């Protein structure tokens, strides 16, 4: 595709830092702003009057007024092979894995199944305004080839990996310490750093890996110190009890991952609900990230994440869908449920903090804070256009809204895929509301 230059006009919102830490001065808002995209990057941004007479002059213009324009949403934890697991009835985590999830994931050794699942997932993420994600594939290397292939065709920045698991699941899903190591290494060679793709070392979680596999994982992680790591930590009481029995030498769940060198920068720990102070301190000291998955935690009855404790400990914290334990692809729905989980804890998630988390905050939690998550010159042109009045109920509520903060809170509380007017990634328009998905090269 030829390099594209275009201008995008609308109500532009971005975050130069974390408003929870640095206050409202980091919020950038242009009531009538225009940004210029060139070669997949944001080149300039400012007041429309200045931009249209200057840098944006003569460029094709996408005029999205009166809609909001933000950095594309970032989803730091989800499972590609679980698009047909969502809404499976009546179980907590360990039984949900055995009854629904493992049988479903067993199908993904078939490249056609993995390609169809990856295609659906990426179309659905774009339809929800999400342009980057940290993605678990299955233990089958083919599932990673399928996912990265589809991400590459769309020009998306994606982080993904082959799940390593060598016990506690059907034979079709198990690798071995040796195979998990070698297959991961071959996938790293094939995909890591290709275009916008990066590989994540992905041990599923301690209960499905033997100590031998965790040792092989430690060796892999040591060989590739700059790679992402992703796994699950302290989601559910039954899981924690299992870890206590399986690793009797460990004083808590987090120490298992510490022992194998996995608590480090760019290590993404899903859930982190039932942590002790010691565990939080260890995650912060290692530079790891905790990922809050509210719709999943409510759906599986796992527990209530403590955002204040995570932040107070100094842990980088993100918020994610966790498809398919999670029940929505929408980061708006996810933030809305996050707000409710925190309300049950007596905590607050103000709207500017929520929209920061969905964009720049999640990017920072993934170690990608210098590439995505902001509308700033030099950042990659991943952009979402949002309609605060997508439904009659929202139009009615908006009649009484006076501030940007109120508007954003209504948008996150009532919004969903219907709120997403358009999604751009790498400067290309990949989704428009009410239109069929755009499949380059098809
Ligand atoms: N822990 C280990 N695997 C999974 C998974 O697929 N989903 C969730 N929510 N937790 C997990
Ligand atoms: Zn998960």
- Whole-number Å distance between alpha carbons of 119 and 436: 13
What pLDDT sits at residue 226?
98
Q: Residue 79 contacts by C-beta under 8 Å, 6 or more apart in sequence?
A: 85, 135, 136, 322, 323, 324, 325
Give residue 254's pLDDT band: very low, low, confident or very high (50, 70, 90): very high
- Arithmetic mean of pLDDT, 336-345: 98
Question: Would you say 315 and 265 are in contact if contact means Cβ atoms under 8 Å apart?
Answer: no
- Whole-number Å distance between alpha carbons of 36 and 50: 12
- Whole-number Å distance between alpha carbons of 296 and 45: 37
Cβ burial, residue 245 (10 Å; 0-12/13-18/19+): exposed
- Arithmetic mean of pLDDT, 71-95: 98
- DSSP assignments along 232-287, one per residue: EES--HHHHHHHHHH-TT-SSHHHHHHHTT-SSTTEEEEE--S--HHHHHHHHHHT
Q: Which atom of ligand 1 is nearest to the CA of 232?
A: 1
- Whole-number Å distance between alpha carbons of 59 and 345: 49
- Whole-number Å distance between alpha carbons of 102 and 108: 10
Residues with CB under 5 A from ligand 2 (ion): 270, 322
- Could you tell me what percent of the chain has a pLDDT over 70? 99
Query: pLDDT tens across 131-146, in order?
Result: 999 999 999 999 999 9
- Whole-number Å distance between alpha carbons of 371 and 384: 16
Which pTM does this prediction carry?
0.98
Residue 330: is its pLDDT beyond 80? yes
**In residues, how long is the chain?**
442
Give residue 2's pLDDT band: very low, low, confident or very high (50, 70, 90): very low
Query: pLDDT tens across 398-432, in order?
Result: 999 999 999 999 999 999 999 999 999 999 999 99
Give residue 329's pLDDT band: very low, low, confident or very high (50, 70, 90): very high
Give residue 441's pLDDT band: very low, low, confident or very high (50, 70, 90): low
φ and ψ of 101, to 5 deg: -75, -50
- Arithmetic mean of pLDDT, 262-279: 98
- Whole-number Å distance between alpha carbons of 337 and 302: 14
What pLDDT sits at residue 274?
98
Cβ burial, residue 112 (10 Å; 0-12/13-18/19+): exposed
Radius of gyration of the chain measured on its C-alpha atoms: 21
Q: Residue 48 contacts by C-beta under 8 Å, 6 or more apart in sequence?
A: 9, 30, 32, 33, 34
- DSSP assignments along 52-89, one per residue: HHTTTTTS-EEEEEEEEEEEPEEEEEEEGGGTTTTT--
- Whole-number Å distance between alpha carbons of 337 and 275: 21
Question: Would you say 213 and 202 are in contact if contact means Cβ atoms under 8 Å apart?
Answer: no
Mutate to test the pocket of ligand 1, among 91, 94, 95, 97 (most ligand atoms within 8 A of CB): 97
Dihedral (CA of 89, 93, 95, 96) sign? positive
φ and ψ of 202, to 5 deg: -130, 70
Q: Quick one: DSSP state of residue 16?
A: S
Question: Would you say 386 and 407 are in contact if contact means Cβ atoms under 8 Å apart?
Answer: no
Q: How far is CA 155 from the centre of its chain?
A: 17
- Whole-number Å distance between alpha carbons of 30 and 308: 30
239, 165, 153: which is closest to 440 by C-alpha?
153
Nearest CA to ligand 1 atom 9: 325
Q: Quick one: DSSP state of residue 110?
A: S
Query: pLDDT tens across 286-326, in order?
Result: 999 999 999 999 999 999 999 999 999 999 999 999 999 99
Protein residues whose CB sits closer than 6 Å to any atom of ligand 1: 79, 93, 97, 101, 204-205, 232, 235, 296, 322, 325
Distances (CA, A) of 417 to 354, 395, 422: 17, 16, 10
Give residue 4's pLDDT band: very low, low, confident or very high (50, 70, 90): confident
Question: Would you say 124 and 437 are in contact if contact means Cβ atoms under 8 Å apart?
Answer: no
Average pLDDT, the chain: 97
Give the distance (Å) from ligand 2 centre to CA of residue 85: 12
Q: Residue 44 contacts by C-beta under 8 Å, 6 or more apart in sequence?
A: 35, 36, 51, 55, 56, 377
Enumerate the β-bridge partners of residue 287.
none
Q: Which atom of ligand 1 is nearest to the CA of 239?
A: 1
Give the distance (Å) from ligand 2 centre to CA of residue 206: 13
Q: ipTM for the complex?
A: 0.99
Mutate to test the pocket of ligand 1, among 205, 274, 328 (most ligand atoms within 8 A of CB): 205
């Amino acid at each position: 595709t030829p390099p594209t230059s275009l201008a995008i006009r609308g109500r532009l919102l971005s975050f130069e830092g974390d408003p929870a830490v640095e206050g409202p001065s980091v919020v950038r808002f242009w009531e009538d702003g225009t940004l210029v995209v060139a070669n997949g990057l944001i080149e300039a941004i400012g007041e429309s009057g200045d931009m249209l007479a200057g840098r944006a002059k003569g460029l094709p213009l996408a005029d999205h007024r009166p809609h909001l324009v933000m950095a594309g949403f970032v989803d730091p934890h989800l499972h590609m092979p679980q698009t047909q697991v969502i809404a499976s009835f009546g179980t907590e985590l360990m039984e949900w894995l055995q009854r629904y999830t493992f049988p479903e994931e067993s199908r993904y050794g078939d490249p056609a199944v993995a390609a169809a699942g990856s295609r659906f997932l990426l179309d659905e993420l774009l339809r929800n305004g999400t342009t980057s994600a940290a993605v678990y594939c299955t233990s089958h290397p083919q599932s990673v080839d399928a996912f990265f292939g589809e991400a590459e065709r769309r020009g998306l920045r994606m982080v993904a990996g082959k799940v390593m698991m060598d016990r506690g699941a059907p034979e079709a899903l198990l690798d071995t310490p040796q195979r998990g190591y070698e297959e991961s290494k071959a996938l790293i060679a094939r995909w890591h750093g290709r275009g916008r793709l990066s590989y994540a070392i992905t041990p599923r979680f301690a209960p499905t890996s033997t100590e031998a596999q965790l040792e092989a994982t430690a060796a892999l992680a040591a060989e590739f110190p700059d790679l992402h790591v992703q796994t699950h930590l302290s989601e559910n009481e039954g899981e924690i009890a299992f870890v206590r029995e399986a690793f009797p030498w460990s004083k808590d769940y987090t120490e298992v991952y510490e022992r194998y060198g996995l608590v480090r920068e760019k290590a993404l720990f899903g859930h982190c609900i039932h942590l002790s102070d010691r565990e939080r301190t260890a995650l912060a000291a290692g530079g790891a990230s905790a990922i809050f998955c509210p719709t999943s935690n409510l759906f599986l009855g796992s527990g209530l994440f403590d955002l204040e404790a995570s932040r107070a400990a100094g842990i980088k914290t993100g918020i994610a869908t966790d498809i398919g334990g999670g029940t929505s692809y929408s980061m708006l729905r996810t933030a809305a449920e996050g707000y409710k989980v925190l309300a049950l804890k007596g905590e607050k998630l103000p709207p500017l903090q929520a929209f920061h988390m969905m964009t720049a905050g999640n990017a920072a939690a993934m170690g990608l804070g210098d590439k995505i998550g902001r509308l700033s010159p030099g950042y990659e042109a991943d952009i979402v256009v949002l309609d605060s009045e997508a439904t009659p109920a929202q139009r009615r509520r908006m009649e009484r809204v006076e501030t940007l903060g109120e508007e954003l809170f209504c948008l996150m509380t009532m919004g969903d895929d219907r709120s997403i007017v358009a999604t751009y990634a790498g400067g290309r328009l990949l989704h428009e509301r009410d239109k069929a998905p755009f499949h380059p090269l098809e």
